[in-house]
Amino acid sequence: MRNAARIAPPPRLPRKPEHRPPRAYESAPPDAILFISVACLVAIGMVMVFSASSTTAYAVHHDVAYFFKRQLVWLFVGCFAAWGAFRIDYTKLRAFAPALFVATSLALVAVLLPHLGASVNGSRRWLGISSLSIQPSEFAKLTLVFFLAVRLADMGERIRSFSRGVVPLLAAVFVVALLIQREPDMGTASIIVAIGFIMLFVAGARIPHLLVGILSTAPFVVYSIFAHSYQRERILAFLNPWKDPLNYGFHIVQSLYALGSGGWWGVGLGASREKFFYLPEQYTDFIFSIVGEELGLIGTLTVVALFIIFATRAVNIAMRAEDRFGYFLALGCTALIVVQAFINIGVVTSSWPVTGVPLPFISFGGSALVVDLIAVALIANVGRRRRIGS
């Protein structure tokens, strides 16, 4: 049967593909420029905290690196928290936003209670004791951003309604701002309100509705400023600090001395004269003045440029977000940092009324540094989430 036709072998069946759940998203590389700008700001901050606080640290604690070491500990805590915020799927955090908002509001109430809140220089802003204290108002900024991002993402076009959109969200903003103002902390309260209005504006709220919200709070703001003479004088001192250079205008006058004496290149790192108990709050709210004195105009412009680079990259990430919640979360975290930075710079240059607002990443303060680093990590988290094929 040599000529018999050979029987063809059966066709090989294709291998059954392995069952895998469909992936709608994938991780993109993190934004390197965003991280580099923040890393530079943090590095400048650590150096300047050591320099600006050394005289006070030695006089009070007999250790020139006392505040630097505390800030270093908080930096490690902030980096660890930021790493967790960067790695987690940020969309899973939506469910926790209401609980975090309520918890932070309760913490703001607890600060005002005599046996719970710690009083420093007449302000009740801290919970805890000594170096273990935290500042709930700093965390309130972040939890408010979370809460508004969730609500705005779910609300959609309803934000254009005054009664169903703007009023409920502004009520939440004003409640937090009122609790913070009671500490008193007008600077952080103003930042809370600014963040709220920015997020509502970019969400599509009508400008007349926002103006109504501003006008409705104007009497309370005026009362808060003029009810106490020291607040009124501090707020108005920026118009003419030389009118009372030894009292209410003292902060601004000494800040301008520091900035002016720095010239182009500064007097040299560590060589500040204003930090020898001339300039108050020289390593917290007015640390930018020490930057100008020691590093000169070049140093201050470098800091401003780094904040502009950060803001540009962060807004770009928000605009490319793959979902509405990520869009509002990234924009809110950007506003949290950028608004605070330029208010602080405005204060120390006598371009803005004096308010107790630290400079993000640079001023001494553990709670603020942790919150700012978490905010950056969340922005980067939004940027790394991409649809497959996009």
Query: Cis peptide leading into 208, omega within 30 of 0?
Result: no
Share of the chain above pLDDT 70, in %: 87
Among 5-14, 250-259, 290-299, name the one with the lowest average pLDDT.
5-14
For residue 155, pLDDT beyond 70: yes
Q: According to the model, what pLDDT value does residue 303 have?
A: 98
Share of the chain above pLDDT 90, in %: 65
For residue 97, pLDDT beyond 70: yes
CA-closest candidate to residue 90, choices 388, 384, 367: 384
Distances in Å between the Cα of 387 and the Cα atoms of 118, 167, 175, 320, 384 are 47, 35, 38, 11, 10
- The mean pLDDT value for 224-235 works out to 70
For residue 318, pLDDT beyond 90: yes
Whether the predicted model's global pTM rises above the 0.95 cut: no
- The mean pLDDT value for 175-194 works out to 89
Please state the domain extents for the chain.
42-87+229-385, 102-227
Q: According to the model, what pLDDT value does residue 387 have?
A: 55
For residue 28, pLDDT beyond 90: no
- The mean pLDDT value for 57-74 works out to 95
DSSP, res 271: -
For residue 20, pLDDT beyond 50: no
Task: Round to whole Å and give the CA distance between 42 and 54.
Answer: 18
Structure tokens at 129: 């004791």
**What are the DSSP calls for 315-377, one per residue?**
HHHHHT-SSHHHHHHHHHHHHHHHHHHHHHHHHHTTSS-----PPTTTSS-HHHHHHHHHHHH
Q: According to the model, what pLDDT value does residue 235 have?
A: 73
CA-closest candidate to residue 179, choices 139, 226, 206: 139
> Between these two residues, 162 and 244, which has the higher pLDDT value?
162
- Average pLDDT score over the chain: 87
Is-contact 160 205, C-beta < 8 A?
yes
User: Exposed, middle or buried by CB within 10 Å (0-12, 13-18, 19+), for 36?
Assistant: middle
Q: According to the model, what pLDDT value does residue 256 have?
A: 93
For residue 23, pLDDT beyond 60: no
- Which residues, other chains included, contact 211 with Cβ-Cβ below 8 Å and sequence gap of 6+? none
DSSP, res 134: B
Q: According to the model, what pLDDT value does residue 121 have?
A: 64
**Predicted confidence (pLDDT) per residue in 254-263, tens digit:** 999 999 999 9
For residue 170, pLDDT beyond 60: yes
